[in-house]
Amino acid sequence: AQRVTQPEKLLSVFKGAPVELKCNYSYSGSPELFWYVQYSRQRLQLLLRHISRESIKGFTADLNKGETSFHLKKPFAQEEDSAMYYCALSGGMADKLIFGTGTRLQVFP
Amino acid sequence: DAGVTQSPTHLIKTRGQQVTLRCSPKSGHDTVSWYQQALGQGPQFIFQYYEEEERQRGNFPDRFSGHQFPNYSSELNVNALLLGDSALYLCASSPKDRRPSYEQYFGPGTRLTVT
């Protein structure tokens, strides 16, 4: 079965603390993995994708095929990082996106 | 470019009624996907349209149907509305370049409430 699991509904940290949002997936084949973010009153937007191996706004995510995980990390959280984060996968080449249930990140001053 | 636009923003319908939601893709995009996002859940894929045809479909009943027009805009129709159809409906478009790891651009959504 194709599935994305985000075990934490809410993650609260203080500004400057490290952040790790967990994502595990189940997929037969080689999926494309993404992190999407939704800031308050804004639309869902792509944060980063595993194939690009990029760091966006200080966030990174490494695909671990052995553990079927794609955790999102940031060494020092900022208040503006407070948002809803969704992990998603696709089979590539315009395939549908399968989303997790999301994790709300709250960063306190 | 306004990006992906959706109309209406909000909609209230009664059980048993029918509803049509509209989506205009981002300029240069030819593929439109629809998602349903229930409260507290992640978006769930409904179906995808490309070249005016339904290309992929998620686990949704036939009450959910769609259409894509020659200008790539799309409609989502839901018949015989149920209370459980209350959700945020998201439209996403993607570019003509069908390379791997393409990005889907999302609209602001239409909030449907069924009473």
Convert the pLDDT of each residue in B60-108 to its tens digit: 999 999 999 999 999 999 999 999 999 999 999 988 666 555 678 999 9
Is the model more confident about A91 or about B55? Answer: B55
Residues of B with CB under 8 A from a CB of A: 3-4, 31, 33, 35, 40-45, 48, 50, 55-56, 58, 90, 92, 94, 98-109
Whether pLDDT at A1 is above 70? yes
B79-B84-B85-B90 Cα dihedral, nearest 10 degrees: -160
Cβ-based contacts of A86 with chain B (< 8 Å): 42-43
Q: What is the mean pLDDT of residues A76-97?
A: 90
The per-residue pLDDT for A56 is 87
Say how far apart CA A54 and CA A64 lie, in whole Å. Answer: 15
Candidates B31, B42, B108; nearest CB to A43: B108
Distance from CA of A65 to the nearest CA of B (A): 17
Residue pair B42/B87 in contact (Cβ under 8 Å)? The answer is: no
Hey, are the CB atoms on A96 and B58 less than 8 Å from each other?
Answer: yes
- Read off the tokens for B75: 């409609």
Q: Domains in chain A, start-ordered, CATH in brackets?
A: 3-101 (2.60.40.10)
Query: What average pLDDT score do residues A5-15 get?
Result: 97
pLDDT at A47: 94
What per-residue confidence (pLDDT) applies to B97? Answer: 65
Q: Which of A20-29, A46-55, B3-12, B47-56 has the lowest mean pLDDT?
A: A46-55
Q: Is the pLDDT reported for residue A93 higher than 80?
A: no
Contacts of B35 in chain A (CB under 8 A): 97, 99
Cβ pairs A/B, distance under 8 A? 61
Count of all residues that appear for chain A in the document:
109
Q: 3-class SS at A22?
A: coil
pLDDT at B86: 98
Parallel/antiparallel/unpaired status of strands A60-61 and B19-24? unpaired
* Interchain proximity B106–A86, CB inside 8 Å: no
What's the distance, Cα to Cα, between the start and end of chain A in Å? 41
Point out the residue among A44, A92, A102 whose CB comes nearest to the CB of B106: A44
Q: Between the CA atoms of B99, B100, B101 and B104, what dihedral angle is there, to the nearest 10 degrees? A: 50
Average pLDDT of chain B is 93
d(CA A66, CA A32): 15
**Residue-wise DSSP of A1-15:** --EEE---SEEEEET
Q: How far apart are CA A96 and CA B30, in angstroms?
A: 15
The average confidence (pLDDT) of chain A is: 92
pLDDT reported for residue B5? 97
CB contact under 8 A, A49 and B101: yes
What one-character-per-residue DSSP string does B42-103 give? --EEEEEEETTEEEEE-S--TTEEEEE-TTS-EEEEE-S--GGG-EEEEEEEEES---TT--
CATH fold for the domain made of B5-114: Immunoglobulin-like (2.60.40)
d(CA B35, CA A59): 26
Beta bridge partners of B113: B12
A31-80 pLDDT per residue, tens: 889 999 999 999 999 999 887 778 889 999 989 989 999 999 999 999 99
Domain extents for chain B?
5-114
Lowest mean pLDDT, pick from A18-27, B89-98, B104-113:
B89-98
CB B83 within 8 A of CB B15: yes
Query: According to the model, what pLDDT value does residue A54 have?
Result: 81
